[in-house]
A and B are shown apart, each in its own frame.
Chain A
C-alpha cells in the first residue's frame, strides 16, 4: 500500500506543453479515476507516474519519496494497458510469472501465487494457452492477473476496458471495483467514459486539455461542477447551457447550466419552448425542446409522466438552487462554487 502525490506536474513534447501543472494527493488504498476526452493528456499523466515518460517539471511521489529519476521497475507499480500488451510468445502462466521470475521469487512460490491469481480471475483452465488463443475478455483478465500477481503497491490502468463489448465492460467494471476493494491497492485508472469514472472512482480527476479542471468525489463533481467543461462532460445527457443574459440573476457574458433532471415542463415558468423530439428509454424519457432563442434543451422526465407530442409548447421551470452560474471564462461563480 502506498500514497501517490503529483506536485504541479508538467509535460512537454518538444515545444508543445500537453500537461500544464496537475497536482493530486492520493491516499492509501484510494481508487482515483482520471477522466477526460480523447487527447486531453490522461495517458501521458499516467505514464509519468509509471516512469514510461519523463517528467518535464514537478514531482511524482510514491509513499512520500520522489520517483522522478527512478526506472519503472524501481517504482513498485503494475500497469494494465489498453491493448493488454501480453507477451505473445508466452503462455498465460508465463505471462503472469514473468515479473516474479525476474524478481527471482522461488519456484514453489511462483506456482502458488500464479495459481491463486488464476483462480481469483477464473483463468485456471487457460494457463497453458497462448494469448492469441484467448478471447478479448480473457486476455483482459490475464493482463489484470499479471498486475495482481506481483503484489505492487500501486495499480495503473490505461483504459483497460475500452476494447471489450458493452456488456462485458459493465461486468469487468464491477469485477475490477470488487477486486480493488479486496486487495486495497492504491489505483489510478484512466478512462474517457464518464459512466466508468462515476461508478469506479473514490475520487475522480476531470481533465480538460492538460488541466485538472476538478478533483472530487463523483457525486460532488456531478452536483457541483466547477467549470462549464465539467458540467458538460460529466452526466449523460449533458447539462443544458443557456445564455445568462436572458435572466435577471445571470452574470454578464456568462452561462447558466441546468441538469436535464432538474427542469420541469409546466404551464408557466421562466422560458417558453417547443418539443422537437422525444426518446422514451423505459425508466425515464428524454424530451428535446427548442427555446425561443434557438438553443436546444433536454429534459429528463419520469416514465410515469405523459410523453408530450412533438410541437407542443411548454414553459420550462427549475429551482433557483439547481441553477449553475458560470462566468465568461467558464468558471463557476454562484454560492455553491466554494
Chain B
C-alpha cells in the first residue's frame, strides 16, 4: 500500500503554504505586474501624473542604438562568464578528483571565493587592476602591456568577465566535483583497461556522464550572468566606457534610477523577463534532449 501523509480539511495545508505564497506575491508577482503596467506609461518629471503611451516605450527602446547594443554586450558577457567560470571549475574539479583523498584543504580553499559578496569581489579586482596602483597593472606594465580598462572597451569587458567568473568558479566547482564523484570508479577503470587514456576517457565517459550537472550549471550560470553580476559591474566600470559593459540589467538600473526614465526602465524589465523565459524554455527543450540522465 502506498503510504501518504494526508491532512484533514483545508486550513492546515493552506496555513503551511501561505507564507511562501505571500512572499512570492509581494516580492515577485506584485513588482512584475507593476513593471508591466508602468511600461505602458510615461510619468511626468515630478512623478505626479502618468500618461498612457501604449507600446510607445518599447518602440522607442528598439529604435535606440545603445539599447540594441546592450543586447549584444549581454550576449557576449554571458557567454564569456559562463564559459570561463564553468571551464575553469571543471578543470579544477578534474584535478581535485584525481587527487581524491587528502584534498580536503585544497577544496576548502576553492570554496572561499563563493563566500565573497560580488560587490566586494568587484572592489578586490578593481584594486588589483587599478590603472595607477594595481598590482597586476604594474606587472603587465613590466611586460610591456599598458592596461587601462577605464578607456579601453575590450579591457573593461575582460575585467568584468574575470571578476564575475571568479566567484562563480567555486559554486560550479562544488557541483562538478560532486558529479565526478558520483561516477563509479570501476567504470573509469574499465575504460582504462579498454585502452582509453586520460583525455579519451574524459571525452567519451566522464563528460557525457557529467552532462546533467553541466546542463544544470549552464542554466544557473546564464541566469547569474544576466542578473547577479550587477554588483560587479557597478563597482568596477559602472557600465562604461561608452556603455561597453552595460548589460541589460545594468541599463534597467541606469536608465531608471540614474536617468529617471521610469517608463523606459519598466519596459526594459519586461523585455528582460521575456528574454530569460525564452532562454530557459530553449535550454530545456533543446539541450536537455542531449543529456544522458
Binding site for B on A (CB under 8 A): 50-52, 71-73, 77-79, 81-83, 85-89, 98-99, 102-103, 146, 150
Binding site for A on B (CB under 8 A): 184, 186-187, 189-197, 200, 204-205, 208-209, 292
> Contact check: which of B184, B186, B194, B205 meets A73 at CB < 8 Å?
B194
Q: Tell me, in angstroms, the Cα distance from A72 to B194 when the chains sit together.
A: 8
How near does chain A come to B207, taking the closest CB pair, in angstroms?
10
> Contact check: which of B191, B193, B194, B292 meets A88 at CB < 8 Å?
B292
- 6 new A-B pairs (CB below 8 Å) besides A83-B184, A85-B189, A85-B190? A72-B189, A72-B192, A78-B193, A83-B186, A85-B184, A98-B191
Q: Is the CB of A71 within 8 A of B186?
A: no
Residue on B nearest A99 in the bound complex, by CB:
B194
Q: Is the CB of B190 within 8 A of A81?
A: yes
Q: Is the CB of B186 within 8 A of A85?
A: yes
Q: Tell me, in angstroms, the Cα distance from A102 to B184 when the chains sit together.
A: 21
Contacts of A52 in B (CB 8 A): 189, 192-193
18 inter-chain pairs at a CB distance below 8 angstroms, sorted by A residue, are A72-B192, A72-B193, A73-B193, A77-B193, A78-B193, A79-B189, A83-B186, A85-B184, A85-B190, A87-B191, A87-B205, A88-B209, A88-B292, A89-B292, A98-B194, A98-B196, A146-B194, A150-B194
How near does chain B come to A14, taking the closest CB pair, in angstroms?
11
Q: Tell me, in angstroms, the Cα distance from A15 to B43 when the chains sit together.
A: 78
How near does chain A come to B249, taking the closest CB pair, in angstroms?
37
Contacts of A71 in B (CB 8 A): 192, 197
How near does chain B come to A128, taking the closest CB pair, in angstroms?
15
Contacts of A78 in B (CB 8 A): 193
Q: Tell me, in angstroms, the Cα distance from A52 to B196 when the chains sit together.
A: 14
Q: Is the CB of B195 within 8 A of A99?
A: yes
Q: Tell me, in angstroms, the Cα distance from A89 to B207 when the chains sit together.
A: 11
How near does chain B come to A94, taking the closest CB pair, in angstroms?
10
Q: Tell me, in angstroms, the Cα distance from A77 to B189 when the chains sit together.
A: 12
Q: Tell me, in angstroms, the Cα distance from A86 to B184 when the chains sit together.
A: 10
Q: Is the CB of A73 within 8 A of B190?
A: no
Contacts of B197 in A (CB 8 A): 71, 73
In the A-B complex, the 9 residue pairs with the smallest Cβ-Cβ separation, listed nearest first, are A99-B194, A85-B186, A89-B292, A85-B190, A102-B195, A73-B195, A72-B193, A81-B186, A89-B208
Contacts of A77 in B (CB 8 A): 193
> Contact check: which of B186, B192, B209 meets A89 at CB < 8 Å?
B209
Residue on B nearest A71 in the bound complex, by CB:
B192
Q: Tell me, in angstroms, the Cα distance from A163 to B23 when the chains sit together.
A: 50
Contacts of B204 in A (CB 8 A): 98
How near does chain A come to B208, taking the closest CB pair, in angstroms?
5
Q: Tell me, in angstroms, the Cα distance from A88 to B208 when the chains sit together.
A: 10
Q: Tell me, in angstroms, the Cα distance from A78 to B190 when the chains sit together.
A: 8
Contacts of B200 in A (CB 8 A): 102
Q: Tell me, in angstroms, the Cα distance from A83 to B187 when the chains sit together.
A: 9
Contacts of A87 in B (CB 8 A): 187, 190-191, 205
Q: Is the CB of B190 within 8 A of A79?
A: yes
Q: Tell me, in angstroms, the Cα distance from A82 to B185 when the chains sit together.
A: 12
